[in-house]
Amino acid sequence: MKKGMKKGISSLIGLIMLLLLLSACALNSSGDDETKKSGQKTNDATVNKAEEKSYKATDLSALPDKTKARKDTFVAGISAPGGVFLPYFYENGWDGNATTPIFSPLVDLDKEGKPVPILADSWDTSKDQMTYTFNLRKNAKYSDGSPVTADDVAFTLTLLHDPAYNGYQDISLAAIKGGKEYKEGKAESIEGIKVLDEQRIEISTEKVNAKALLILGGQVLSKAYYGKDYEYGKLDYLKELYSKPLGAGPYVFSKYIPGQEIRYTANDNYYKGKPKTENLIYKIIDKATSLQQFETGELDYAGFPADDDTVGQLESLKFANVQVAPVNDYGLIYVNNTRPQFKDKEVRQALLYGMDRQKIVDVRFKGFGQVADVPVSPVSWAYNNEGVTQYEFDAGKAKKLLDKAGWKIGKNGIREKDGVQLKIRYLTADAEDAAIPIAKENYSDIGIKFEPEITDFNALVSKLTAKDYDFAAVSTSQILDPSDTVEELASNNPNNYVGYSNPKVDKLIQEGLGTLDIDKRKELYHELYKEFTQDPPYILIHYRQSARAISGQIEGLVPDNYTGIGSSLPNISIKK
pLDDT tens for the chain, 576 residues long, are 333 333 333 333 334 333 333 333 345 434 443 333 332 333 333 333 456 789 999 999 999 999 999 999 999 998 889 999 999 999 888 899 899 999 999 999 887 778 999 999 999 999 999 999 999 999 999 999 999 999 999 999 999 999 999 998 999 999 999 999 999 999 999 999 999 999 999 999 999 999 999 999 999 999 999 999 999 999 999 999 999 999 999 999 999 999 999 999 999 999 999 999 999 999 999 888 899 999 999 999 999 989 889 999 999 999 999 999 998 999 999 999 999 999 999 999 999 999 999 999 999 999 999 999 999 999 888 999 999 999 999 999 999 999 999 999 998 899 999 999 999 999 999 999 999 999 999 999 999 999 999 999 889 989 999 999 999 999 888 888 899 899 999 999 988 999 999 999 999 999 999 999 989 999 999 999 999 999 999 999 999 999 999 999 999 999 988 888 999 999 999 997
Half-sphere exposure at residue 286, Cβ-oriented, CA atoms within 13 angstroms:
4
Sorted by where each starts, the structural domains of the chain and their CATH numbers stand as 87-241 (3.90.76.10), 331-545 (3.10.105.10)
- Which 3-state string (H, E, C) describes 434-487? CHHHHHHHHHHHCCCEEEEEECCHHHHHHHHHCCCCCEEEEECCCCCCCCCCCH
Using alpha carbons only, give the angle 368, 370, 374 rounded to the nearest 5 degrees: 145
* Per-residue DSSP letter, 537: S
* Per-residue DSSP letter, 234: B
Strands (E), 250-377: 251-257, 261-266, 279-284, 301-305, 320-326, 331-335, 369-371
Residue 335 · residue 539 · CB < 8 Å = yes
H/E element holding 564?
Answer: none
- CA-closest candidate to residue 170, choices 310, 8, 33, 32: 8
Name the region of 426 (left: φ>0; alpha: ψ -120 to 50; beta: rest).
beta
**Cα distance between residue 54 and residue 68, in whole Å:** 23
Beta bridge partners of 408: 416
H/E element holding 135?
Answer: strand 131-136
Length of the chain in terms of residues written:
576
Helix/strand/coil percent split, the chain, to 5 = 30, 20, 50
- CA-closest candidate to residue 404, choices 390, 412, 391, 415: 415
Which residues in 187-217 are b (16+ Cβ under 10 Å) and which e? eeebebbbbeeebbbbbbbeeebbbbbbbbb
- CA-closest candidate to residue 216, choices 259, 254, 293, 161: 161
Residue 512: which residues within 8 A CB-CB, separation 6 or more?
Answer: 210, 482, 483, 486, 521, 524, 525, 528
- At 213 the three-state DSSP class reads helix
Name the region of 297 (left: φ>0; alpha: ψ -120 to 50; beta: rest).
left
- At 203 the three-state DSSP class reads strand
Q: Phi, psi (5° rounding) for residue 481?
A: -160, 145
Residue 546 · residue 303 · CB < 8 Å = yes
- At 241 the three-state DSSP class reads helix
pTM for this structure?
A: 0.84
